[in-house]
Amino acid sequence: MKTEEDVQKLEKLIGQMNGLHSELTLLAKKPNDALNLFKMKFVNKVLHDANEFLTGRYRPFDDFSQFTEDAMPTNSDVTLILTQYMEQIERFRSDNVANIALNKWVYMLDGKESKIEARPATRVAMRRD
């Protein structure tokens, strides 16, 4: 991540993804039921935004980027994918925060500590750079 705007985008994305996941988990009680096109449009928008962050080793599946209308994904298909994306986006976030003092975490921008406060990392660091 390079700018403060990127951090805002990421935080917004995490919020949207959590929201969608909790809503769709309720629907997934009927696992065979399909996601309607209106909801699919928004799920795809969130996945599109997530894909901008999740490149390389962060991308959950090499051959998946978005749902297609023809594939007619079920609610449980969508929650499965969202869970994978949430896992990876959290890993990405954990790799981009730093613990600078006791209980004080900040975002790293362009490899340097910024002043933007962050929640603590929850995944083991994968960064090797």
CB closer to other proteins out of 62 and 129:
62
Least CB distance from residue 70 to other proteins, whole Å? Answer: 4
CB closer to other proteins out of 69 and 87:
69
CB closer to other proteins out of 74 and 83:
74
Contact between 107 and 96 under an 8 Å Cβ cutoff? The reply is yes
Cα of first residue to Cα of last residue in the chain, in angstroms, is 13
Buried b (16+ CB within 10 A) or exposed e, 25-39: eebbeeeeebbeeeb
Least CB distance from residue 54 to other proteins, whole Å? Answer: 24
Least CB distance from residue 37 to other proteins, whole Å? Answer: 7
CB closer to other proteins out of 32 and 103:
32
Least CB distance from residue 71 to other proteins, whole Å? Answer: 6
Q: Which of 27, 14, 16 lies closest to 80, judged by CA?
A: 27
Contact between 107 and 116 under an 8 Å Cβ cutoff? The reply is yes
In the block, which residue shows the tokens 């007619």? 72
Q: Interface residues with other proteins (CB under 8 A)?
A: 30, 32-37, 68, 70-72, 74
